[in-house]
Amino acid sequence: MTATTSKTMTTHKKDPLVRIVRRESMPLWKSVMVRVIAVVASLLVSGVIIYLLTGASPIKVYGSMLQGAFGNSPANYSQKTWITVRDTMMLLCIAVGLAPAFKMKFWNIGAEGQVLVGGIATAACMIYLKNLPPVLLFICMVGASLLAGAIWGLLPAVFKAKWDTNETLFTLMMNYVALQLTSFCVAKWENPIGSNKVGIINQGAANQQGWFPAIFGQDYMLNVIIVMALTVGMFFYLKYSKQGYEIAVIGDSQNTARYAGISVKKVIIRTMLISGAICGLAGFITVSGSAHTISTSTAGGKGFTAIIVAWLAKFNTFTMILIALLITVLDKGAIQVATEFNISKDMSNMITGIILFFIIGSEFFINYKLIFRKKEKEVA
Amino acid sequence: MVGFVSLFQQAVVFGTIIMFGAVGEIITEKSGNLNLGVPGIMYLGGISSLIGVFFYENSTDNPNKFVCVLIALLCAFLASAFGGLIFSFLTITLRANQNVTGLTLTIFGSGVANFFGGSLNQLSGGVGQLRVPVTSDAFRIQIPGLSSMNNIIGELFFRYGWLVYVAIVVAILAQVFLSKSRAGLNLRAVGENPATADAAGINVTLYKYLATCIGAGISGLGGLYYVMDFTQGKWANDGTLEGLGWLAVALVIFTTWRPKNAIWGSYLFGLLYWVYMYIVGISRASQELFKMLPYVVTIIVLIIISLRKKRENQPPEALGLSYFREDR
Amino acid sequence: MDNNIAVSMKHITKAFGTKVVANKDVSMDIRKGEILALLGENGSGKTTLMNMLSGIYHQDSGQIFVEGQEVHITSPKDAYELGIGMIHQHFKLVDVLTATENVALGMDKKKAKNNRVIAKAIEEICDKYGFDVDPKKKVYNMTVSQKQTLEIVKTLYRGANILILDEPTAVLTPQETDKLFAVLRNMKADGKSIIIITHKLHEVLAISDRVSILRKGEYIGTVKTSEATVQSLTEMMVGQKVELDIERPEVENKELRLQIEHLTCLDKYGVTALDDVSLDAFSGEILGIAGISGSGQKQLLESIAGLQEAQPGSSIVYINPETGAKEQIIGKDVTQIKKMGVALSFVPEDRLGMGLVGTMGMTDNMMLRSYKKGHSIFADRKAPHDLAVKVKEELEVVTPGLQTPVRRLSGGNVQKVLVGREIAAQPTVLMAAYAVRGLDINTSYTIYRLLNEEKKKGTAVIYVGEDLDVLLALCDRIAVLCDGKLNGVVDARTATKEEVGELMTHLKEEGVSADDGNDK
């Protein structure tokens, strides 16, 4: 704009058409509504895509999705539901482990690896220590998986605390180190030889050393008990403990933390030990409590999905239950749809992706509001 | 010697996939966007090119090689750039968290690719039946003359499909763009200090959108190369491409955000990835440990650059952060 | 119209929100080929006024004329087109780029030349005015002075004829300042108009042709520098003494509490921020710290709080009120100082960035200093809750609820939360920096009352303020910092405003002992 052209302008200053303003607050019901709308919209979009691909009516598709998650006949209601619950717990457990790190604004992208090393440690105990008394064996498995996960979390934390090494990239790389370590162990422990699979460890009704015992006749009840205890425990830890308070202060401002006499380095390291250990425990739950084997797909991308769960739940572990359930139901449902309509079951990842895009995008409307330019009176 | 030659060749082939991914991601990250959706984007690029030429090859009796190549390139670039667009819209316009959005993009991309890959396989009668032989052949044409050299030079450097050389050219162009051109300078300023760039009259949003979409488009060519050359026009759902995508993210760190370093760095990564095949007398289990090498090397590089604190080697200052003018 | 006028501002008014009027009906001219000093205390609206010329803000009312024609400046780009360039206090440079690249940044395609041409142009500008810039040097390798030079060169390269410098000497050593002034004179000789925003009187007298003075957002007047003296300018700047109705109890039970000796600190750029300061603080007294902002107040308070590293030879001794034991503070961190039994309450300048956790509510913020109490792994929330209720009631904090994040509260309420918490810790030394900045009159008086109550309890209060009237009415003694040095300590009951104002702006000769301030 030059001096000559600007002369023709009036003193009225033009605002942009839309202004984005940070929202101070939004009532709970409203923010819930925004998210519900986002989920519904994403389901509609996915429905259209499924319709275009399969030609089946979306209603029918959603019906079979529910059947996929919760069963389609009295014979398998319970079984299917329990599998959904089991997988929800696994996802939830990792998200709960990530919560303290994220609350501290430490980007632990390494859950996948932490789960894997926890799983390796568990499987090692199951293989090498199977002759121990069950109680001792379980103590070893829990201890080993916690330790393995903690070490995987500790490394990036130490470098972050001391030299400010980028933790996002560091933890990301650690995933693949863990993945190769898993491949190494799989090759070492393969059974039968040449299969490149570990196979079910301690198989046979008489064995099953290191398997979760059934509780109330349910194989996965122990999974639920452990993860729910962690969920509740983490909620109180973050909200009411002194350490949780320190985490929150550092997450808000490291300067304030120093002013308050909090040792930022110490808290970063301590928190990542906890975060890694819980993710390691998730590996224990998977190996001992459901898969009874170890493979490179033991974590199966859940370490990444859990990051999204933890972030969307805003570190509230109870909200995580809902989001983890939603994602797992979608996943199971999409696999069912794929089977029923004879298409690839990888559709589930596509649908999950679409739904997450919508939920991620909807956060904007909770945090910001749009102000459209009003017709203002010309001020001369 | 024979062992080394074939190791070298494998390294170059794998390196090329990673190089495309990394060069694209460098351009994206230079704008301050950390897009962890690279594996997803490479998936999108790979599957789109495959679908595009699959329908073309099936619709005509005599597919034209040139048209095949054109369709494949266009489909790969556009689909990947679309992935970048989703990322841009969510993180720049809707101000979503970059890490979360990128990871979702990876889930989405692998879902889309394996879904369509699997479906097309079924459509054409089973796993491995989805094939695009003409296009794949067209992509594996070697440089005439040079490739027929029957000496060590010919074997080491000229036994590859032409995309290998395109990758090098793209890396060089990206390097020249970033270090010599005015737009590259502005882009670097956006990634380093968006507020200053804004004050200097640079359209920060536009630069971020363009860098992310074009960067994604280039990354997607890695997926194209993987499908057309490495797997020779078939779709294999074995997760290799995802692993390569993460290697590309790692390579960005390794290059300290310089495309020129991606040229040798990617081949080095390929070498580290395959070296286990050529070490005599190690068990299959130990081979797996060798495959850790590229990641371990990346971690070491990451640590070294944070220890040395040399300013030129640091990530772009505003990497991973969103920029809102009113927050100034 | 006078052909000699470069820029003319007429009846400019600018308000932020409904309460704060930054500039009120200001009219002034800038002539061609002159150096105009824009003088005023902190918060007098100097920078805001200039930001309207440089396109950062837009005036609410009033007109701007450049070369006699009315203009509308809506962005920094508009300002550049009109030949107006401003060098801000925070440089707008990209650290990892070279000087040349920074100059080239964001230039229009038409003007975009290759780096060699730009580097040559930079050298030409440097030769012409006596700058010293290495075009190939990266910004992060540059000293603050070099960065500033680069900003000026960048502005000149873009064709600025009117240069505005916002407190350019704040970050420079005396030698660098001399160099800067030399090039400013060269630029003046070349016909450029230069506005230098400052509050340092000796610099005004050294460099400017005319001085325009702002006070509390209003235009006071313009004088020729040759006809001005330190006294006349100080009077215009600080104005008549305003009688404030602030209670000042007599000092009782005065005991030495803090003994600061030879305290020297560097700021984050490695420039000496606090230079060999020796000062005592006594119980039952309010010690005021006066000085232009950036004279070392921050470093002084943070050294005592254990947040700032001191240079060797510095000493801060705390005398324990109960045992009389002397304890050295320097070298200990925040927690250690607390463990020694030293109770320091510190209200940092940056309330939300450091004193409080913005995303937390009042209750949780009350915990910040006390959450470690007790052996339970869970933090006690009962006591902080009760404290929050008490602070809310006694200080009349306006908040929707104790859980409402404090960043949503207004500035005054945020300050009340902070001061309330600090006082609740029952300190023996209470430090408050700019405790009333941005607060309305009533809240300010609440804060003064609280400080006086602490004084009566026998606390040693250190109050860093910017309003001289308040300092003179509230404090018992006032220590004046100037350029990081202690320029004098005056008795607040007898000192005049001019006396303090002069100590703030005009460094006395070296070797004058601090106590001489009383003799003036």
Instruction: State CA C103 to chain mean position distance.
Output: 29
pLDDT digits (tens, 9 = 90+) for B226-257: 988 888 778 777 778 888 898 899 899 889 89
Partners of residue A259 in chain C, C-beta under 8 Å: 305, 307, 334, 346, 348, 354-355
Partners of residue A25 in chain C, C-beta under 8 Å: 408
B40: confidence class by pLDDT, cuts 50, 70, 90: very high
- What's the sign of the alpha-carbon dihedral C97, C103, C106, C112? negative
How far apart, in whole angstroms, are the C-alpha atoms of residue C204 and residue C194? 13
Shortest CA gap A136–chain C (Å): 28
DSSP classification of residue B148: G
Least confident of C35-49, C212-226, C343-357, C495-509: C343-357
Q: Are C224 and C210 in contact (CB under 8 A)?
A: yes
CB pair distance less than 8 Å for B302 and A346? no
Domain ranges in chain C are 5-238, 252-343+461-520
- Residue among A184, A343, A344 whose CB faces B285 most closely: A184
Q: DSSP states of C459-487 as a string?
A: -EEEEE-S-HHHHHHH-SEEEEEETTEEE
Nearest to C417 by CA among C384, C378, C456: C384
How far apart, in whole angstroms, are the C-alpha atoms of residue B294 and residue B252? 12
- Residue among C71, C81, C357 whose CB faces A256 most closely: C357
CB pair distance less than 8 Å for A259 and C408? no
Q: For C159, left (φ over 0), alpha (ψ -120 to 50), or beta?
A: left
C403 in contact with A at a CB cutoff of 8 Å?
no
CB pair distance less than 8 Å for B303 and A165? yes
Q: What is the pLDDT of residue A17?
A: 61
CB pair distance less than 8 Å for A165 and B306? yes
For an interface test with B, which of C81, C92, C105 has the most B Cβ atoms less than 10 Å from its Cβ? C105
Q: Which CATH class is domain C5-238?
A: alpha beta
Q: DSSP states of C199-227 as a string?
A: --HHHHHHH-SEEEEEETTEEEEEEEGGG
How far apart, in whole angstroms, are the C-alpha atoms of residue C411 and residue A131? 67
How far apart, in whole angstroms, are the C-alpha atoms of residue A263 and residue C372? 13
Q: Fold for B2-327, please state it.
A: ABC transporter involved in vitamin B12 uptake, BtuC (1.10.3470)
CA of A238: which chain C residue's CA is closest? C378
Structure tokens at B240: 């290799």
C116 in contact with B at a CB cutoff of 8 Å?
no
How far apart, in whole angstroms, are the C-alpha atoms of residue A354 and residue C261? 65
Q: Are A91 and A327 in contact (CB under 8 A)?
A: yes
Q: What is the pLDDT of residue A188?
A: 83
CB pair distance less than 8 Å for B199 and C92? yes
Residue with structure tokens 């959005």? B101
Partners of residue B286 in chain A, C-beta under 8 Å: 184
- What's the sign of the alpha-carbon dihedral A3, A8, A13, A18? negative
Q: DSSP states of A258-286 as a string?
A: HHTT--HHHHHHHHHHHHHHHHHHHHHHH
For an interface test with C, which of A6, A264, A266 has the most C Cβ atoms less than 10 Å from its Cβ? A6
Please state the three-class secondary structure of C132-152 as a single string. Answer: CCCCCCEHHHCCHHHHHHHHH
Cα angle B176, B105, B323; round to 5: 60
- Residue among B192, B197, B311 whose CB faces C106 most closely: B197
C106 in contact with B at a CB cutoff of 8 Å?
yes
Structure tokens at A11: 């003193």
A342 in contact with B at a CB cutoff of 8 Å?
yes
pLDDT digits (tens, 9 = 90+) for B44-84: 999 999 888 888 888 887 888 888 889 989 999 999 999 99
Q: What is the pLDDT of residue C514?
A: 43
Q: Where are the beta strands (DSSP E) in chain B?
A: none
Query: Please, what's the b/e burial string for C173-182 (b: 16 or more CB within 10 A of its CB; e: otherwise)?
Result: eeebbebbbe
CB pair distance less than 8 Å for B95 and A368? yes
**Cβ–Cβ pairs < 8 A, chains A and C:** 87
pLDDT digits (tens, 9 = 90+) for A319-365: 899 889 988 888 888 788 777 777 777 777 888 888 889 988 888 88
Structure tokens at C294: 């950036």
**Cβ–Cβ pairs < 8 A, chains A and B:** 165
The percent of residues in chain A predicted with pLDDT above 70, rounded, is 90
Domain ranges in chain B are 2-327
How far apart, in whole angstroms, are the C-alpha atoms of residue A329 and residue A288? 23
Q: What is the pLDDT of residue A283?
A: 92
Q: For residue C5, report the phi and psi dihedrals to the nearest 5 degrees.
A: -85, 125
ipTM higher than the 0.90 cut = no
Structure tokens at C324: 């009389």
Shortest CA gap B291–chain A (Å): 7
Q: What is the pLDDT of residue A376?
A: 45
Q: Give me the sheet containing C344-347, strands edge to edge.
A: C344-347, C429-433, C460-464, C285-290, C477-482, C485-491
In this structure, the strands spanning C477-482 and C485-491 are antiparallel
Q: How far is CA C380 from CA A28, A248, C372, C375, in A?
A: 27, 16, 9, 10
Q: Where are the beta strands (DSSP E) in B221-281?
A: none
Partners of residue C372 in chain A, C-beta under 8 Å: 242
Least confident of B130-139, B196-205, C437-446: C437-446
Q: Fold for C252-343+461-520, please state it.
A: Rossmann fold (3.40.50)
Burial of B228 (0-12, 13-18, 19+ CB in 10 A): buried
CB pair distance less than 8 Å for C94 and B312? no
Q: How far is CA B65 from CA B47, B53, B145, B303, in A?
A: 19, 10, 20, 47
Partners of residue A24 in chain C, C-beta under 8 Å: 408
How far apart, in whole angstroms, are the C-alpha atoms of residue C78 and residue C87? 16
Partners of residue B196 in chain C, C-beta under 8 Å: 92-94, 105
Q: What is the pLDDT of residue A378?
A: 40
Shortest CA gap A72–chain C (Å): 47
B176 in contact with C at a CB cutoff of 8 Å?
no
- Residue among A6, A244, A252 whose CB faces C358 most closely: A252
DSSP classification of residue B128: T
AA letter at C484:
G
Residue with structure tokens 């109705």? C245
Residue with structure tokens 């030293």? C342
Chains contacting B (3 or more CB pairs within 8 Å): A, C
Q: What dihedral do alpha carbons A328, A334, A339, A344 form, nearest 10°?
A: -110
In this structure, the strands spanning C272-282 and C460-464 are unpaired
In this structure, the strands spanning C35-39 and C344-347 are unpaired
How far apart, in whole angstroms, are the C-alpha atoms of residue A58 and residue A64? 10
For an interface test with A, which of C108, C369, C371 has the most A Cβ atoms less than 10 Å from its Cβ? C371
Shortest CA gap C478–chain A (Å): 26
Could you give the 3-state DSSP secondary structure of residue A134?
A: helix
Q: Are C343 and C424 in contact (CB under 8 A)?
A: no
In this structure, the strands spanning C218-224 and C210-215 are antiparallel
Q: Which uninterrupted H or E stretch holds C35?
A: strand C35-39
- Residue among B182, B196, B201 whose CB faces C93 most closely: B196
Q: What is the pLDDT of residue A16?
A: 53
Nearest to C418 by CA among C315, C490, C475, C345: C345
B199 in contact with C at a CB cutoff of 8 Å?
yes
- Residue among A177, A311, A350 whose CB faces B111 most closely: A350
CA of B195: which chain C residue's CA is closest? C92
The CA radius of gyration of chain B, in Å to the nearest whole number, is: 20
Residue-level pLDDT, tens digit, chain A, 380 residues: 333 333 333 334 444 566 666 666 677 788 888 888 988 888 888 888 878 877 777 777 778 778 877 877 777 777 778 888 888 999 999 999 999 999 998 888 999 999 999 999 999 988 888 888 888 888 999 999 999 999 999 999 999 998 888 888 899 889 989 998 998 888 888 877 777 777 777 777 667 777 777 777 777 777 888 888 999 999 999 888 889 999 999 988 888 888 888 889 999 999 999 999 999 999 999 988 887 888 888 878 888 889 988 988 888 888 899 889 988 888 888 788 777 777 777 777 888 888 889 988 888 888 887 767 554 444 43
Same fold, C5-238 and C252-343+461-520: yes
Structure tokens at C94: 């990209």
Cα angle A264, A266, A267; round to 5: 65
B318 in contact with C at a CB cutoff of 8 Å?
no
Residues of A with CB under 8 A from a CB of C: 1-3, 6-7, 9, 11, 13, 24-25, 236, 240-246, 248-249, 252-253, 255-256, 258-261, 263
Could you give the 3-state DSSP secondary structure of residue A289?
A: helix
For an interface test with B, which of C94, C100, C154 has the most B Cβ atoms less than 10 Å from its Cβ? C94
Between C1 and C296, the higher pLDDT residue: C296
